[in-house]
Amino acid sequence: MTGWQLLTTAWDWDGSVVAGCALVAAGYLAAARFRLDRPALIFLGGVASVLLALVSPLDPLSDHYLFSAHMLQHVVLDMAAPALFVAGVSADLARRMLRVPLLERAERVLGHPAPAWLLGAGTLWLWHVPALYDATLASEGIHIFEHLTFLVTGTMFWWPVFHPLEERRLATGPALFYLSLGAVSNSLLGILFSLASTPFYRGYVHVDDELGALSLIRERWGLSPIDDQRLGGALMWVLGGVIFLWAILVVVARWYREPEEGTQLSESLPGARSET
């Protein structure tokens, strides 16, 4: 098998994945009153990224061959897609959703920075415990549950920082501290894999060569199990670091704009005097 053959033939349009993504997209559009505005396009971009991560060759590579492919998939499911989901919720949609008492109570608890951070960071660490990780490779049901927890807790993690309602967002200082702790946690996990001298997971040492791609990976690409694990660790902390850096820059830019917006508002009030 060649790399091109792998890229073009290893797609798996699993019905449950396609249906799940379609239902999420349809539910969002119905809640947003079928407005295809900027937030809607951002949210749908998150849905598309999840679909791509789960039906493209990235999925069988991560399931059977490459820890590094799995880490790239996890970056999408745990960080990138949830950030797009939160950014895709407009203030108007958030206000209408929070008028429902049950949703408002759940948001107050689950959207609080402490549980959001602990569940977001803790879920990532928990699923990389070797016994649990190997279980996801052996059981499709456990693997699906893992992906769902990444999407849910990842969305919770970003919610306090990028809350659609400005008055409920973390202030600049706490937001930067929150994100910095998240970046450190993610980096430590990635560095742990990058510095390891032995493979942690049996599934990538004793490979079930379902696609007939093992010789391509081991011989042509030159990826041994330990090299693959180190590459996966590097992808986790480098790509994750880029996402956290982006989030920090967004928070700083938001803070930088605040005085200007406040000045413009004060100048627009009745009785404000203009200097000559």
Taking only Cα atoms into account, the Rg of the chain, rounded to an integer number of angstroms, comes to: 21
**Phi, psi for 45 (deg, rounded to 5):** -65, -35
- The percent of the chain in helix, strand and coil, each rounded to the nearest 5, is 75, 0, 25
**55 touches 204 (CB < 8 A):** no
Report the amino acid identity of residue 7: L
The tens place of each residue's pLDDT in the chain, 276 residues long, gives 788 888 888 898 989 999 999 999 999 999 999 988 999 999 999 999 999 999 999 999 999 899 999 999 999 999 999 999 999 999 999 999 999 999 899 998 988 999 999 999 999 999 999 999 999 999 999 999 999 999 999 999 999 999 999 989 999 999 999 999 999 999 999 999 999 999 999 989 988 888 888 999 998 899 999 999 999 999 999 999 999 999 999 999 989 887 654 444 344 444 444 443
pTM given for the model: 0.89
Exposure string of 180-190, with b = 16+ CB inside 10 Å and e = fewer, is: eebbebbbebb
**11 touches 55 (CB < 8 A):** yes
